[in-house]
């Protein structure tokens, strides 16, 4: 039980496209690892994340998350797996603007019974408050509607939501591209600390090569991907 994400002979072609966008012979990410995946825009990063998160599907045996072959799971099981075991952070607009920061975080447990279970000993809102405080949001900010928060604060709320209930894997899709450098490094540091505390695997995707030194392991997507059907995005 040491691998978290396992790709084998992954082939992915968008419907209607001539060439496969992704063709990855092998990629393994172990539990607890902090991995940076770098790729240029349109190189298939987001598609790869969609495959790992179980939004898109590929052939049998090609994508395994936490030992589960995603192609063998129903849509509902994949949604459930994502809810329970994967925290997802977008580039921006992570939050439902009309809910408070707090409500946005606790929303993570709405579709995730396993997360609720893992939080069994403490209340969901207490843990959410805990996480938000650790990520540097004041109590007043936690009550504010999400759209009143700054972009940096919003990203931290998104991180808290992803972390709540200790999922096995956090996928961060360019979470820092909307932040300036000071906030960016700050954010990554906070993310590292939180992941360490929960022993969560982190898959951090970016186009920004300058982040690579911060990570123990950095992968260049073009090195592992032999597919050439990149789209213009």
Partner 1 sequence: MFKLAIASLWNRRGSVWLTILAIAVSTLLLLGVERIRVQTQANFSNTISGTDLIVGARTGSTELLLSSVFHIGNLSNTLSWQSYEHLRELPGVTWHIPMAMGDSVHGFPVIATTDALFERFKYGNKRPLQFAAGGSFQQHDELTIAVLGAEAASERQLQVNDDLIVAHGTGEISFSQHDAHPFRVVGVLKRTGTPIDRGVFIPLEAQGLVHGEYLPADEHDDHAGEDHQHDRHEHEAHQEPPVYTLSAVLLGLENPALALRLQRTINTYRGEALSAIMPGLALQNFWRTLSLFERALVAISVLVVITGLLGMLTTLLASLRERRREMAVLRSIGAGPITILGLLVVEAFVVTLVGVMLGTVGLYSVLIFGAELLQQQLGIHVSASVLTLRELYLLLAILLAATVLSLFPAWRAYRNALADGLTVKL
- Give the nearest distance from C-beta 186 to partner 1 in angstroms: 23
Reported as type and span, the H/E element at residue 163 is helix 151-163
Q: How far apart are CA 99 and CA 105, in angstroms?
A: 10
**Sole binder of partner 1 in the list 6, 62, 90, 127 (CB under 8 A):** 90
Q: Does 161 participate in binding partner 1 (rule CB under 8 A)?
A: yes
Question: Using CB under 8 A, which of the segments 79-87, 180-188, 194-202, 213-221 binds partner 1?
Answer: 79-87
- DSSP per-residue letters across 12-79: E--TT-SS-SEEEEEEEEETT-EEEEE--TTSSHHHHHHHHTTSS--STTSEEETTEEGGGS-HHHHH
What does the chain come to in residues? 233
Q: Which is nearer to partner 1, 117 or 189 (CB)?
A: 117
**Sole binder of partner 1 in the list 34, 64, 82, 184 (CB under 8 A):** 82
**Sole binder of partner 1 in the list 88, 187, 204, 215 (CB under 8 A):** 88
Nearest Cα neighbor of 57 from 81, 34, 33 is 81
Three-class SS of residue 30?
strand
Q: How many residues make contact with partner 1 (CB under 8 A)?
A: 32
Q: Which is nearer to partner 1, 20 or 87 (CB)?
A: 87
Site for partner 1 in 168-187 (CB under 8 A): 173
Return residues touching partner 1 (CB under 8 A). Answer: 46-47, 49-50, 53, 55-56, 75-76, 79-80, 82-84, 88, 90, 93-99, 103, 107-108, 110-112, 161, 173, 233
């Amino acid at each position: 039980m040491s691998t978290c994400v396992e790709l084998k002979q992954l082939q992915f072609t968008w419907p209607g496209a001539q060439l496969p966008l992704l063709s990855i012979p092998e990629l393994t990410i172990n539990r607890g690892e902090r991995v940076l995946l770098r790729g240029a825009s349109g190189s298939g990063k987001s598609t790869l994340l969609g495959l790992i998160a179980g939004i898109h599907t590929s052939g049998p045996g090609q994508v395994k998350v936490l030992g589960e072959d995603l192609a063998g799971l129903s849509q509902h099981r994949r949604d459930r797996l994502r809810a329970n075991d994967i925290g997802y952070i977008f580039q921006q607009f992570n939050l439902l603007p009309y809910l408070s920061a707090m409500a946005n975080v606790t929303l993570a447990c709405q579709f995730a019974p396993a997360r609720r279970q893992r939080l069994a000993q403490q209340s969901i809102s207490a843990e959410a408050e805990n996480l938000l405080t650790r990520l540097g949001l004041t109590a007043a900010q936690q009550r504010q509607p999400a759209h009143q928060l700054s972009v940096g604060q919003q990203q931290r709320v998104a991180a808290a939501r992803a972390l709540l209930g200790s999922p096995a894997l956090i996928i961060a899709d360019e979470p820092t591209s909307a932040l300036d450098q000071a906030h960016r490094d700050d954010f990554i540091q906070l993310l590292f600390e939180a992941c360490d505390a929960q022993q969560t695997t982190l898959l951090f995707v970016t186009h920004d090569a300058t982040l690579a030194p911060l990570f123990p392991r950095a992968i260049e997507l073009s090195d592992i991907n032999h597919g050439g059907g990149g789209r213009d995005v």
